[in-house]
Chains A and B, each alone.
Chain A
Amino acid sequence: MKPKVLITNYVPDDHIEPLLGLAEIIKGPSGGPMCTREAVLALAPELFGIINQHELTVDRELLAAAPKLRIVANVAIGYNNMDLTALDEAGIWGSNCPGAFSESTADHTMALLLALARRVPEADVYVRSGQWARDGFQPGAWDGTLLNEKTIGIVGFGEIGRAVAKRAEAFGMNVIFHSNRGQDDPRYRTLEALLAVSDVVSLHVPLLPTTRHLLSKERIVLMKHGAFVLNMARGPVVDENALAAALTCGHLRGAGMDVAEYEPQIHPALREQRSVVFTPHIGGGTLESRKFARLICARNVAEVLESRPPINPVNQPSSRKN
């Protein structure tokens, strides 16, 4: 009998091609919701591998119920759903999908920046309201911001940050960055120096205790008057109370928010602002990137099925189970 691998939602076979023939695949319900935790726990005793969307809490309770489990693969870059210590002790691999979402996230970063700079959603609402037909042309009324020669300060210069830099340079923007690596690069700035000169501050750091409220009230005060903020990282990286206050008083010109501090709840003072463009955490998620990420997960599970380490491990299990 083939080892069993659970995918907590429904996916077409061509997204998990490396596993076909190697494992008995159990798919989650088609048409939307993912397997409940109860459903996963009920299946757990038989499972060799689990592929999930980062929604499944992988803790000691789950691991205790899954004696045959060897790998949990996340269709995501993040893996804070996993208790890595517990995984290590149980000799189980965790894996993620670095890179799979970088290009789509960088594309979406530029989409939000251009939407803000040229007031696209606001203009779209205006045209749809029929007001343009009544007002006629109003030269000057829709003046936005030209990107050429503006400075974008990229905070967090990993794969996504660098992909944003490449795109921004194609618009003639000056790129500087802050990161805990790369201090030798001439574009490197301390965070304070970056905030002081950037026309656009774009956040691409993981959520860690040290990055929670990285953009705090004190740091927003350091920002250039009339600057834009882009949060493509995680909601709690920005103190949204402080951001809302800075937008209301005009210190900042606008914000592009693909994530929210208490998503899917939106800060009421931000929701009132026409100078904010919201998207519902879709930055990395395109049809192409999702398929690519699932293929990476399937490959990671396939490697472990063949008694090799996964290609993208997030831990180093201390004792292998056999």
Chain B
Amino acid sequence: MQKTPVLLMAAVPPMLIDRLEQSYQLHRFIPGQNQQSLAFVAPAIQAIVANGESRVTADFLSRFPAARILAVFGVGYDGVDVGAARAQGISVTHTPDVLTDDVADLAIALMLSAARAVPAADRFVRAGKWLEGSFPLSRKVSGSRLGIVGLGRIGLAIAQRAAGFQMEISYWARQPKPLVPYAYYPSPQALASSVDILVVSTVGGQPTRGLVNAEVLDALGPHGILVNVARGSVVDEKALVHALMNKNIAGAGLDVFADEPRVSEDLLRMDNVVLTPHIASATLETRIAMSDMVMQNLAAHFEGKPLISQVPHE
């Protein structure tokens, strides 16, 4: 039997590629590459697989008139024109929930790594500097004040972990959340002025662009630490570089960047930042769960069953 043609338009783990190839006739196309061959198969494509970084415009989708599902490998889909997809009769799915624990773990990993200077201490030891003297003391994390920007599933999971460190937790979100025991602040700036560590875990895209700006960073203050596991766009990166260079804040732990995978040269040279290559959801356990979810959404679609995890309606 002929397999159904599916387009893979972004980098996904090899394990998912293998599974897609087993079940479908997979056409791999990374935008910017092999344009001609794509034009040949485009009319036959029934489904598209993207990742959380993909930019999927109305123009791009219009080249696939037979596609009815766009399965995003990732929780974020701010690069997808969901309205255009719906208008064309394409359902959009993503992989929420399964990566909540990983992202929350990495947020705390970056918080502790930045506050206790773990990569800098590791460099210090490996360079033999321990033989020459001691490493400067850092500030204590447990018992300090944590502010969470965006208290969705991931923000709540971060709060749950931080409670193990007896941190005093507060948050900002567009609306105060009922039934959470944490103090609400009406703006990111008000939140930042009341905490020692600010963790960003909002959605990306236009609504949160530049939300953490120079004023918020100034409010965080010279002992403050910023952690971003959301999207690079949420933080005004120029203002962040300026704040770090001028010691307006003490340090930062960053998994996402404005122009990733390119990272500002200024950040690369700073000792008081911890930089990871957008790996918040990168654990083997979660790769498998996310891959399962992509496969299940595609299978449900082709079997005419309800989809597992459609993106929410606005």
**Could you give, for residues 95-113 of chain B, a 1 whenever the CB lies within 8 Å of some chain A CB and a 0 otherwise?**
0000001100110111011
Among B53, B133, B134, the residue within 8 A (CB) of A137 is B53
Contact, CB under 8 Å: A287 / B13? no
Cβ of A27 to closest chain B Cβ, rounded Å: 18
Count residues on chain B whose CB falls below 8 Å from chain A CBs: 64
Contact, CB under 8 Å: A128 / B268? yes
Verify if B207 is at the interface (C-beta below 8 Å from A): no
Contacts of A123 in B (CB 8 A): 275-277, 279
Contacts of A145 in B (CB 8 A): 283-285
Contact, CB under 8 Å: A146 / B15? no
Verify if A176 is at the interface (C-beta below 8 Å from B): no
Contact, CB under 8 Å: B11 / A279? no
Contact, CB under 8 Å: B119 / A126? no
Cβ of B142 to closest chain A Cβ, rounded Å: 5
Contacts of B29-56 to chain A: CB distance below 8 A: 51, 53
Contact, CB under 8 Å: B275 / A127? yes
Contact, CB under 8 Å: A277 / B122? yes
Taking A120-B118, A146-B102, A282-B121 as contacts, is the C-beta distance between A115 and B161 under 8 angstroms? no
Contacts of A96-124 to chain B: CB distance below 8 A: 103-104, 106-108, 110-112, 114-115, 117-121, 123-124
Contact, CB under 8 Å: A167 / B125? no
Verify if A12 is at the interface (C-beta below 8 Å from B): no
- Closest residue to B290 on the A side, CB-wise? A139
For the complex, what is the distance from the CA of A133 to the CA of B277, rounded to whole Å? 9
For the complex, what is the distance from the CA of A118 to the CA of B141, rounded to whole Å? 19
Contact, CB under 8 Å: A280 / B142? no
- Closest residue to A108 on the B side, CB-wise? B116
Contact, CB under 8 Å: B137 / A171? no
Verify if A38 is at the interface (C-beta below 8 Å from B): no
Point out which of B11, B53, B118, B278 has the most chain A C-beta atoms below 10 A from its C-beta: B118
Q: Other CB < 8 Å A-B pairs besides A118-B283, A143-B284, A146-B285, 8 of them?
A: A107-B140, A118-B105, A127-B263, A135-B261, A138-B11, A139-B13, A142-B279, A280-B130
- Chain B positions near chain A (C-beta within 8 angstroms): 11-15, 51, 53, 73, 101-102, 105-106, 108-110, 112-113, 115-116, 118-119, 121-126, 128, 130-131, 133-135, 137-143, 160-166, 260-263, 268, 274-279, 282-287
A-B contact pairs, 25 of them (CB 8 A): A103-B143, A107-B116, A107-B140, A111-B113, A115-B119, A121-B113, A121-B119, A124-B119, A128-B268, A132-B261, A132-B263, A132-B277, A133-B262, A135-B261, A139-B12, A140-B282, A142-B276, A146-B283, A170-B165, A266-B126, A278-B121, A278-B122, A279-B118, A280-B121, A286-B139
